Structure 1
C-alpha cells in the first residue's frame, strides 16, 4: 500500500513537470472541425502511462527484467512515435512501421506466436492494430479514455485476483494509478490536458497486452468483449462511412459520442460516464454468465447495437431538421 501511495504521488509530480514542459514548448491541442472541445488545451497528458511503466520497472526490477522487458520495448516504441506525432506530424509510413514492430513484440511477449498457428498470426495483427486505432478514434471528449480505461483495468484486476491469475498484480495496478492521475486532470468540464496519441496508443497497447495474456491463459476468447463498447461503435461507424462512400481515414464527426457532444450539447463527462458504465455492465455479464460465447455476443450486441442505431438516427434527423429550418 505504501508503494502505491509513493507511485501515486510520484506520478502527480511528474505530470506536473510535463505540464510545465508542454506549456513552455507549446505542446497544445487546437480545436478543429473534428473536435468536440472549443478551447486550447495541453496535449500529451497520456505520457503518464509510459512513465508509469518505467516506474513499475524501477519498483519491480526483477520481474520487469525477467518478464516485462519485451513489453516495455513495444510500449515505449509506440509511445515515442505517437508523442512525436503529437508534437509534429510524422509520415504515415513511419507510424505504421513502428506500430507493426510494436505489435510483433507484443505478440511475442504474450506467447501468441507460440500458441497460434502461423496462418492465424495476420488475424491477430489486424485485430490488435485495429483495436489500437479504435482506442485512438474514441479519444475525443473529456474523460472518455480515462474512465473507459479505468473500468477495464479494474475488471482485469478483479479477474486476476478472484478468478484466474494471468499476470503480476502490479502490472495492472500501475496502469490503474496512472489512469487515476490522468483522470484528475482530464475528467473535468474544462480539461487541463488531453491524452494525445501517446496516451490513447500507450494505454491501448497496455490493455491489449493484458487482455491477450488473459486469453492465452484461459483460451477463452470471450474476453475480447472487454473492448465491446468501443469496438461496436468503431465498426458500425466505419460501415456507415463506407456506405456513404467517405474516406474512412479522414477526420470526421460521425461517432455517436461526437454527435451527442456537438449536436445534443450533452456534457462530455456525462457521455464518458455512460460509455464507461455501459462497458462495466457488459463486463459483469461477461464474468458471471455461463452461456457459450456466441450467446454472450448476441445478448450484448443486439441491444447495444439497437440502442446505438436508434440514437444515431434520432440525432441525424435532428441535424437535418435544424438545417432545413
Structure 2
C-alpha cells in the first residue's frame, strides 16, 4: 500500500512540475550537441529529490537520525543543478556545491572513519568524476532512467540476497522514481528530459548506495556496477585529448551520440542496449569469486575492444 501511494504522489508531482515548467518556460532547446530536434520540458529529474522527500515523510525518525547528511547533500546538488538548468552558473559555484555535497555523502557513508585520510582525495575525484559521467551520458531518451534502474535493481538484489548494507526502502524509492520518470521519458517524443537536476540527483543517490556497499564489504569491485558509463566517458575524454580538443566544450563524440545522430538508431533501442550490457556485466560481477583485477580484465578487454571497433567503424562510415 505504501508503494502505491508513493507512485501516485510521484505522478502528481511530475504533472504539477510540468505545469510549472510550461508556465515559466523551463525548456530544453536543441543545440549542436543535442541528439533531439524538438523543444522539450527540462528538469523532469526533479522527481528524484522529491522521491527522497517522500521517503523522509514515510520514514521520518529514521531519516532524521540516519539520512540527514545524505539528504542535505542530495538537496544541495539538486538545487544548484536545477538553477543551472534554468540559468547558466559559473563552474566555480557548481564545483563548490558539488564538493560540499560529496563531503556530506562521504560522512553519511562513514568513509571518513573507515578509510585512511590519504584515500579521501581519491574518493573525491572518483565521486565527482562519476557524477559528471552521469551528466555526460544523459543525452538521449531513456538512457538515464534505464541505466539507473539497472544499477538500482542490482543493488536491491545485493542488499536482499548477498549482504544487507542499507534499508530496503532507501533503494526502492529511487527505483519507483526511475519507473515514473521513464513513463514520461522513455518515448520516441519524450514528455520531459532529466536535466542536470535529474542526472546529478539520481547519480548522487546511486553513488551513495555503491559507496555504502563498498564501505560495508571492503570490495571495490562494486564500483564496476557503473562500468559502462565509466568506460565510455574515459575513452571519449582520451580520444578528445588525443585530438587536442577542449574536453570542457560540448561535443557529439560519445558512441551513443554517433548511433543516435549519425546512424539514426532509435534512442530507445540505444538506451536499452546500454542498459542490457550493464545488466549482463552486473550479473557476472555479483556472482564472480575472481579477484578484482581479473574481473576488471574480463569486463574491460572485450567491452573496450567492442566499443573501439564500433566507434572506428562509425567514424569511418561517416568520415568523422
Specify if TM > 0.5: yes
What is the TM-score when the length of structure 1 is the normalising length?
0.98
Aligned-residue offset at 1:14? 0.7
Cα distance in 2 for partners of 1:83, 1:291 equals 42
- The answer for the alignment partner of 1:62 in structure 2 is 61
- 5 Å matches for 1:236-315? 236-315=235-314
Cα distance in 1 for partners of 2:256, 2:73 equals 30
Cα distance in 2 for partners of 1:77, 1:289 equals 37
SS at match of 2:172: helix
SS at match of 2:67: helix
Q: Structure 1 runs of 4+ off > 6 angstroms?
A: none
Give structure 1 stretches of 5+ with no counterpart: none
- Number of corresponding residues: 320
Aligned-residue offset at 1:91? 1.3
- The answer for the alignment partner of 1:123 in structure 2 is 122
Aligned-residue offset at 1:39? 0.3
Give structure 2 stretches of 5+ with no counterpart: none
Aligned-residue offset at 1:290? 1.1
Q: What are the Cα deviations for residues 58-91 of structure 1, in whole angstroms up to 9, with x where unaligned?
A: 0001110110011000000000000000001111
RMSD: 0.6
What is the TM-score when the length of structure 2 is the normalising length?
0.99
Aligned-residue offset at 1:92? 1.1
- The answer for the alignment partner of 1:209 in structure 2 is 208
SS at match of 1:241: helix
- The answer for the alignment partner of 2:197 in structure 1 is 198
Is 1:6 equivalent to 2:5 in the alignment?
yes
Aligned-residue offset at 1:208? 0.4
- The answer for the alignment partner of 1:73 in structure 2 is 72
Aligned-residue offset at 1:170? 0.4
Cα distance in 2 for partners of 1:314, 1:265 equals 15
Is 1:221 equivalent to 2:224 in the alignment?
no
Cα distance in 1 for partners of 2:191, 2:247 equals 30
SS at match of 2:211: helix
